[in-house]
Protein backbone atom coordinates (compact mmCIF):
# COMPACT_ATOMS: atom_id res chain seq x y z
CA UNK A 1 0.00 0.00 0.00
CA UNK A 2 1.30 3.42 -0.96
CA UNK A 3 1.94 5.82 1.91
CA UNK A 4 0.05 9.09 2.00
CA UNK A 5 1.50 12.24 3.56
CA UNK A 6 -0.16 15.50 4.51
CA UNK A 7 0.88 18.77 2.89
CA UNK A 8 2.25 20.04 6.19
CA UNK A 9 4.34 16.88 6.66
CA UNK A 10 5.82 17.29 3.17
CA UNK A 11 6.55 20.96 3.77
CA UNK A 12 8.23 20.25 7.09
CA UNK A 13 10.33 17.49 5.52
CA UNK A 14 11.48 19.83 2.74
CA UNK A 15 12.30 22.57 5.22
CA UNK A 16 14.39 20.11 7.23
CA UNK A 17 16.24 19.12 4.06
CA UNK A 18 16.95 22.75 3.26
CA UNK A 19 18.50 23.31 6.68
CA UNK A 20 21.18 20.78 5.64
CA UNK A 21 21.76 19.61 9.23
CA UNK A 22 21.08 16.00 8.22
CA UNK A 23 21.73 14.01 5.10
CA UNK A 24 18.91 12.97 2.83
CA UNK A 25 19.31 9.36 3.98
CA UNK A 26 19.31 10.32 7.66
CA UNK A 27 16.15 12.36 7.33
CA UNK A 28 14.41 9.68 5.26
CA UNK A 29 15.20 7.09 7.93
CA UNK A 30 13.86 9.35 10.68
CA UNK A 31 10.66 10.13 8.78
CA UNK A 32 10.12 6.59 7.55
CA UNK A 33 10.15 7.48 3.87
CA UNK A 34 12.31 6.76 0.88
CA UNK A 35 15.14 9.17 0.05
CA UNK A 36 13.89 9.37 -3.53
CA UNK A 37 10.49 10.60 -2.33
CA UNK A 38 12.06 13.31 -0.18
CA UNK A 39 14.25 14.34 -3.09
CA UNK A 40 11.18 14.68 -5.33
CA UNK A 41 9.37 16.81 -2.74
CA UNK A 42 12.40 19.08 -2.46
CA UNK A 43 12.73 19.46 -6.22
CA UNK A 44 9.01 20.16 -6.60
CA UNK A 45 9.19 22.83 -3.91
CA UNK A 46 12.24 24.48 -5.44
CA UNK A 47 10.54 24.52 -8.85
CA UNK A 48 7.51 26.11 -7.25
CA UNK A 49 5.24 23.25 -8.24
CA UNK A 50 1.70 23.68 -6.99
CA UNK A 51 0.43 20.39 -8.35
CA UNK A 52 0.60 18.72 -4.93
CA UNK A 53 -0.64 21.64 -2.76
CA UNK A 54 2.45 21.67 -0.52
CA UNK A 55 4.31 23.52 -3.27
CA UNK A 56 2.46 26.66 -2.26
CA UNK A 57 3.77 26.45 1.30
CA UNK A 58 7.48 25.83 0.76
CA UNK A 59 8.36 28.39 -1.92
CA UNK A 60 7.01 31.23 0.21
CA UNK A 61 9.31 30.12 3.04
CA UNK A 62 12.24 29.86 0.65
CA UNK A 63 11.58 33.24 -0.92
CA UNK A 64 11.19 34.95 2.45
CA UNK A 65 14.45 33.40 3.66
CA UNK A 66 12.65 31.66 6.49
CA UNK A 67 13.11 27.99 7.21
CA UNK A 68 10.63 28.02 10.09
CA UNK A 69 7.18 26.90 8.95
CA UNK A 70 5.51 29.15 11.55
CA UNK A 71 7.00 32.32 10.06
pLDDT digits (tens, 9 = 90+) for 42-68: 888 887 754 444 445 555 555 444 444
Structurally, the chain folds into a number of domains equal to: 1
pLDDT digits (tens, 9 = 90+) for 39-48: 988 888 887 7
Residues spanned by the domain of 57: 7-64
In a domain, 39, yes or no: yes
In a domain, 25, yes or no: yes
In a domain, 43, yes or no: yes
- From residue 63, alpha-carbon distances to 7, 15, 31, 56, 67 in Å are 18, 12, 25, 11, 10
In a domain, 1, yes or no: no
pLDDT confidence band for 38 (50 / 70 / 90): very high
Amino acid sequence: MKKSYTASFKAQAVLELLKETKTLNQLAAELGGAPSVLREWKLAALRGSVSANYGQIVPRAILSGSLNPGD
